[in-house]
Amino acid sequence: MNHHVWNHFATDLSKEFLVFTPDLPGFGKSKILTTPFSIDDVAQRLIEWLDNEKQKKSVIIGHSLGGYVTLAIAAKRPDLLAGLGLFHSTALADSIEKKESRTKVIEFVEKNGAPAFTSNFIQPLFADADHAGIEMVRNIAVQSSAEAITGYTLAMRDRPGRERLLESFDKPILFIAGEKDGGIPVKSIRYQASIARHPYLHILKSVAHMGMFENQSLTLEIVRSFASNCTR
């Protein structure tokens, strides 16, 4: 969402690669799309930005929501990618239960406002409830507007599954999953890796949904190695 989540990652990776960390539309300094919008709409905005930057054959790593956008970019313009990474993300559509949960988030934010939600949803994303990164991520999250939260929650709820893309994409796909991620079961990620043509699968122990903070050194090395393989 907000590029500041990647500050430490970007600093290290930029020693070897040209690194871009954009704000998705509606977060940070990026103007939100007209609501309602879809994940495909967000992907189109990013495609236009990549074309404007004259970036081709990029390795795009998407965390959580960013992974959904990455898959949509790959579906629309596979020529732009040398590889893609699903960092605590999934190609599967929401289950019925998850869709209901998304709807409840929208209703909660509309009733109670954005800060009431953004102040409380970060801690459960970490395996360690006292992790030092929680406060930093929370400070980033509370900057999000109600319009962005409800708009993206609706877009995530209604996004399509991308299993066929996994099966047909002829470039490397990185899967990073947290053993303790309550929102994305490891079993589902193992399945997705099994149907991809060129999968790179990593299951992180003692990690939930925020591996870039929970085990920064390991995930940084995983991403670095993957990007090197894609760009050779």
Each residue's pLDDT tens digit, 72-115? 999 999 999 999 999 999 999 999 999 999 999 999 999 999 99
Phi, psi of 37 (to 5 degrees): -135, 165
Residue type, 208: A
Look up residue 127 and give its amino acid: A
Q: CA-to-CA distance for 100 and 108, rounded, in angstroms?
A: 12
Mean per-residue pLDDT, 39-58: 96
* H or E element in which residue 195 lies: helix 186-195
CA 6 to centroid of chain Cα atoms: 11
Architecture of domain 3-93+160-231: 3-Layer(aba) Sandwich (3.40)
Three-class DSSP category at 177 = strand
pTM: 0.96
Q: Quote the CA–CA distance of 157 and 59 in Å, as a whole number.
A: 26
Residue 8 pLDDT: 87
Write out pLDDT tens, residues 131-187: 999 999 999 999 999 999 999 999 999 999 999 999 999 999 999 999 999 999 999
What local confidence, expressed as pLDDT, does residue 231 receive? 86
Q: What are the domain boundaries of the chain? A: 3-93+160-231
Phi and psi at 89, nearest 5°, equal -140, 175
Beta-carbon contacts of residue 66 (< 8 Å; ≥ 6 apart): 1, 24, 87, 89
Q: Are 65 and 24 in contact (CB under 8 A)?
A: yes
Residue type, 146: A
What local confidence, expressed as pLDDT, does residue 1 receive? 87
Measure CA 88 to chain center.
Answer: 7
The CA distance from 197 to 194, in Å, is 8
User: Which pLDDT does position 232 carry in this prediction?
Assistant: 81
pLDDT exceeds 90 at position 210: yes
